[in-house]
């Protein structure tokens, strides 16, 4: 479980929600949101190289005091589509327990929650099965 404080709290049924708890996905979650996870992972991976290049160029420019064409690097990035945002809403809905209220989240919080929900810190397929028997 991972707590996330909303930068932009939402009001649902008259109650203000200022934080959510994001849980790790289980098998049933992945059946329900697997296609959305795949959509989001495609988006992230398509922009990973340009994002890294942008961050490095920005840091180099700050260190050297010179300018760099950050706009040219940013132009290499693929903007998110409605399918990407739909995936984020579905993931936040399920893994933060927000249901339909996930659509009310500010985009900043939506992106943060979806990213945290998918970042378990573990490489897929690298786990071991333990039965509890020693």
Q: How confident is the model at residue 59 (pLDDT cuts 50, 70, 90)?
A: confident
Could you give the CA distance from residue 14 to residue 88 in angstroms, rounded to a whole number? 24
Q: What is the pLDDT of residues 9-50, one digit of tens each?
A: 999 999 999 999 999 899 999 999 999 999 998 988 888 888
- Tell me if 112 is assigned to some domain: yes
Instruction: Residue 84: give the domain boundaries.
Output: 2-47+77-118
All residues at 6 or more sequence positions from 36 whose CB lies less than 8 Å from its CB, including other chains: 86, 87, 90, 91
Residue 21: CB partners within 8 Å, gap ≥ 6? 1, 2, 3, 4, 96, 97
**61 within a domain of the structure (yes/no):** no
Number of domains making up the chain: 1
Q: Please tell me the distance from the alpha carbon of residue 36 to that of residue 83, in angstroms, as a whole number.
A: 8
Cα–Cα dist 99/91, whole Å: 10
pTM value is 0.75
pLDDT digits (tens, 9 = 90+) for 91-117: 999 999 999 999 999 999 999 999 888
Do the beta carbons of residue 116 and residue 20 sit within 8 Å? Answer: no
E strands in 1-134:
2-12, 15-22
């Amino acid at each position: 479980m991972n707590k996330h404080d909303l930068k932009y709290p939402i009001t649902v049924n008259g109650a203000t929600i200022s934080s959510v708890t994001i849980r790790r996905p289980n098998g049933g979650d992945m059946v329900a949101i697997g296609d959305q996870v795949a959509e989001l992972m495609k988006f992230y991976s398509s922009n990973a190289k340009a994002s890294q290049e942008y961050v490095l160029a920005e840091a180099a420019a700050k260190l050297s005091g010179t300018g760099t064409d950050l706009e040219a690097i940013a132009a290499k990035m693929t903007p998110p589509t409605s399918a990407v945002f739909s995936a984020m809403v579905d993931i936040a809905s399920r893994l933060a327990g927000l249901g339909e209220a996930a659509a009310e989240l500010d985009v900043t919080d939506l992106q943060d929650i979806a990213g945290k929900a998918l970042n378990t810190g573990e490489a897929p397929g690298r786990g071991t099965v333990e039965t509890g028997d020693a």
